[in-house]
Amino acid sequence: MATPQDEGSFWTKYKRFATTELLMYLIMAVGIALGIIFLS
């Protein structure tokens, strides 16, 4: 069984990873939107 300490570090890592993933998608979406605006 994983100790609560291990679980805590796992959740911290996962939260950081999820935030990075979210930022990446956000930047990608903004880039695509800007590209469409400039091309049209």
* Interatomic CA distance for residues 29 and 18, integer angstroms: 16
Q: What is residue 17's predicted lDDT score, i.e. its pLDDT?
A: 87
Residue-wise pLDDT tens digits, 1-40: 555 566 677 778 888 888 999 999 999 999 999 999 999 8
* Interatomic CA distance for residues 29 and 36, integer angstroms: 11
Copy the structure tokens of residue 4.
Answer: 């609560």
Q: What is residue 26's predicted lDDT score, i.e. its pLDDT?
A: 96
Copy the structure tokens of residue 20.
Answer: 């990075």
Q: What is residue 32's predicted lDDT score, i.e. its pLDDT?
A: 97
Q: How long, in residues, is the chain?
A: 40
Q: What is the pTM of this model?
A: 0.57
